[in-house]
Structure 1
Amino acid sequence: MQENTKQVYVVDDDEIFHFILKKMLEQKADNLEITSFLCAEDALAQLQDQPQYMLPNLIILDMNMQRMNGWDFIEAYKTIKPSLSQHIPIIMCSSSMDMRDMQKVQRTPELMAYITKPLDPMKMKVITDVLA
C-alpha cells in the first residue's frame, strides 16, 4: 500500500452495495484501497489483527446485517477502540429512514454521520469529505 493511499472498510452484507459503492468511490477519489466485509465480525477481527499503521481511514457500516448488526459492531468497537493508535471515523449507512435510528446516531460519539441508501452525489460527498 502506498504511503498516501486511504484505506476504507465497507461492512455490509449486501454484495451489490459493495460493488456500487466501490465504483462510486473510484470515480470520486484516487489512491483508495477498499476492503469489503460481508459480516461485522470479520471487520472487527481485522481491526484487532491489523498492524496499527494499516488501520482504515474510514469505516462505512451497514445498520441491518445478519448475526451482528451495526449497533452490535459499535458496542464491540468501543471495547477495542482504546487499543487503536488512531481515531477511525465511522459512517453508518442504511435504508432505514426511522427518526429513532437517526437520533441514536447523534447520541453515539463513535459515529460521525448517517447516510441513507441508495447513495447519490450528496451522500457521496459526505464520504469523500472524510477522505479528503
Structure 2
Amino acid sequence: MTTELILVDDDKILLIVLEKMIRTVRKDLQISSFISGKQALDYLSENPGSKESASILIDINLRDMNAWEFIDKLETAKEACPKIILMTSSVSSVNSERAKKHPAVTGFFEKPITFENVHQIFQMLD
C-alpha cells in the first residue's frame, strides 16, 4: 500500500490543486511535491525508504527532463522503483502507447486530472 505520493509537475498551481484533490480523497497520505524531476530524484536519493513505500505521479513533459528520462535515472540507480503514474496535457497517442508497454508505469492520465481520476489512481496503487 502506498504511504507517500510524490507529485512532480513544473506547474506550481497544478501541484497545489492536485494536493487539495488528493487530500480530499486520502487524508492519511503523505504528499511530497516537486517542480522538477531533479528535485524529485534528489529527494528519492536522500530518502531511500521512499522508493519502497511511495508512488509517483509525474507529468511527462517537465522543463528539466521528461518522465522517460526520470524513469531511466530511477532504473539506473538499481534500487527499488516506486509505482509510477504518468500525466500529460499532450494529445499525442505516442506517450500513452509507450506507457502501456513500460513495466515501471502503472497508469496514464490526460490532464486535467479529475476527482474520478484521483479515485482511479488510488485503485491502481492500493
TM-score by length of 2: 0.89
- The amino acid of 2:119's aligned partner reads K
Equivalent of 2:93 in 92, 99, 103: 99
Which is greater in Rg? 1
Correspondence for 1:83 = 79
Quote the sequence identity (%): 28
Distance 2:64 2:114 in 1: 28
Distance 1:79 1:99 in 2: 26
More displaced stretch, 119-128 vs 105-114: 119-128
Give deviations 1:8-42, integer Å, cap 9, x for gaps. 10011000111111010111112111111110011
Distance 2:63 2:75 in 1: 20
Shift, 1:51, TM fit? 3.8
Shift, 1:5, TM fit? 8.2
- How many residues align? The count is 125
Unaligned segments of structure 2, at least 5 residues: none
Q: 1:103 to 1:131 in 2, by over 3 A?
A: closer
Contact 2:59-2:67 at 8 Å conserved across structures: yes
Distance 1:42 1:8 in 2: 15
Give deviations 1:24-63, integer Å, cap 9, x for gaps. 01111121111111100111111122142x4442100101
Equivalent of 2:38 in 41, 45, 48: 41
Distance 1:99 1:36 in 2: 27
More displaced stretch, 4-13 vs 17-26: 4-13
Q: After TM superposition, where is structure 1 displaced by more than 2 Å over at least 4 residues in a row? A: 54-57
RMSD after superposition: 1.8
Correspondence for 1:9 = 6
Distance 1:113 1:90 in 2: 7
